[in-house]
Amino acid sequence: MGAVLFLPLGLTPTLICLYVCLLLWLMAGGFRTRFEVIKDSPLAWATLMLVVLMLLGAIYSNAPAADIKLALSKNLKLLLFLVALSLLDQRIWVERSLNLFTASMLLVLVLSLLSVWITIPGLRAGLVPSGTADGLVRDHVVFKDHIIQNLMMTLLVLIAALRAIGAERPRQRLFWSAVVLLAAFDVLFLVHGRTGHLTVIAVLILVSLVNLPARFRLVAIGAIASLVVGAYGFMPEIRGRVDQAIAALQTIGEQDTSPVGQRFEFYRVTLELIRDRPWLGWGTGSYRTEFCRAVDSAQWCGFGGFHPHNQFLLYGIQIGVIGILAFAWYVCTPLIGSMHLPTRTRTLVWGMTLMLFIDALFNVPHFFANEAHFFILMLATIHAAARLARPSGSECGV
């Protein structure tokens, strides 16, 4: 639980808690009981499949040993999901984990909002590229970068919305509704990044469609649409990014060096490399070697030589179509059996799955440490909530 508490606050304390937890997990024994929990989890098997495929890919990879080692270290980390899931075998631990994460994110939200008016020492708030001709815009991030803060804030929006819907007292409903509005405002207006904009909008639409009565759905969708139009109208950096995307679509293949144009070029080159070796790929850790060979340009190797900004393609170039399918199974596995869950718990599972899917389309959540630990720990927590809610039919954590 300590790792979940520190997850929004800093990577170092999160890692310390994880290593202590792993050590205690190994010393405590009781592995038969824990294995039963893991054995019954489809997501655990999907995780194991990804790890095994990456290990096998190392056998035929021609990448430098350092690149193979780096890729394996990123994916072996996924096994922490098994540890976390086996520990979250009681409802009280799942609910405490969600509460600790929510408490930390409320602190992040307050600090992000305060940074609009005052300078707070130690925060990462500062100027970032705006995506417009004006140059820079202020970004109200707190402890992490904008992508991971927006992902975590989107999960706060999801949890708060579900708690507002399930609240029995008007004051609780008012509090959680205010959290939803402030957290969504923070993502859309205060923190830079398209991924966060897409995830928070998608999550709000999901909550509205699944949890609200039919007579309120159109009103909620209209309010969300108004929020999106307002963000587009009042935020020049959002308009700039949209204009960049439209312009980049018109110049695919011409090596446009704008941020959006770079991503389209990464996708194009990576897809061509996957087409050359579609079934098994080029081997674990091969992305940098093969991408830089294909572009034959020091500039473009510098732009995209670490990852293609798409997790599906990163697995595809390393372990082929099999890897893409394995990761797709990993993303979709939490949906198995979710239709039988209580409504709010089901929405929590669907929302987390939607966040991972959107992030994987534009980023590489298994490559970056902050995103990897966020998804590992919160997928374990929400997967455990679903497992515990299924037999009783009662909501868990929301």
Q: What is the pLDDT along the chain (398 residues), one digit of tens a residue?
A: 678 888 888 888 888 888 888 888 787 777 777 788 888 889 999 999 999 999 999 999 999 999 999 999 999 999 999 988 888 888 888 999 999 999 999 999 999 888 888 776 656 555 455 444 444 456 778 777 788 999 999 999 999 999 999 888 899 999 999 999 999 989 988 887 788 889 999 999 999 888 887 777 777 787 777 777 776 666 666 666 666 666 555 555 555 556 677 788 888 899 999 999 999 999 999 999 998 888 877 777 877 778 899 999 999 999 999 999 999 999 999 888 788 888 899 999 999 999 999 999 999 999 998 999 999 999 999 998 988 887 666 887 77
101 part of a folded domain: yes
Q: Is residue 260 a contact partner of residue 241, using CB atoms and an 8 Å limit?
A: yes
57 part of a folded domain: no
Largest separation between any pair of C-alpha atoms in the chain: 63
7 part of a folded domain: yes
Domain that holds residue 184: 2-40+88-236+343-392
Q: Is residue 291 a contact partner of residue 304, using CB atoms and an 8 Å limit?
A: yes
Rounded CA separation 11/9 (Å): 7
72 part of a folded domain: no
354 part of a folded domain: yes
246 part of a folded domain: no
Residue in this structure with the two tokens 């599972």, named with its chain if needed? 349
pLDDT at 127: 47
Nearest to 112 by CA among 60, 43, 171, 185: 185
CA angle, 368 then 350 then 308, to 5°: 30
387 part of a folded domain: yes
pLDDT at 22: 81
Number of domains within the chain: 1
End-to-end, the C-alpha distance of the chain in Å comes to 17
CA of residue 76 relative to chain centroid, distance: 18
pLDDT at 398: 74
Nearest to 154 by CA among 204, 107, 113, 116: 204
Q: CB neighbours (10 Å) of residue 57? A: 27
pLDDT at 233: 67
Both tokens assigned to 366: 């298994």
Report the C-alpha dihedral over residues 367, 316, 331, 202, rounded to 10 degrees: 80
pLDDT at 136: 45
107 part of a folded domain: yes
pLDDT at 339: 81
DSSP assigned state of 40: T
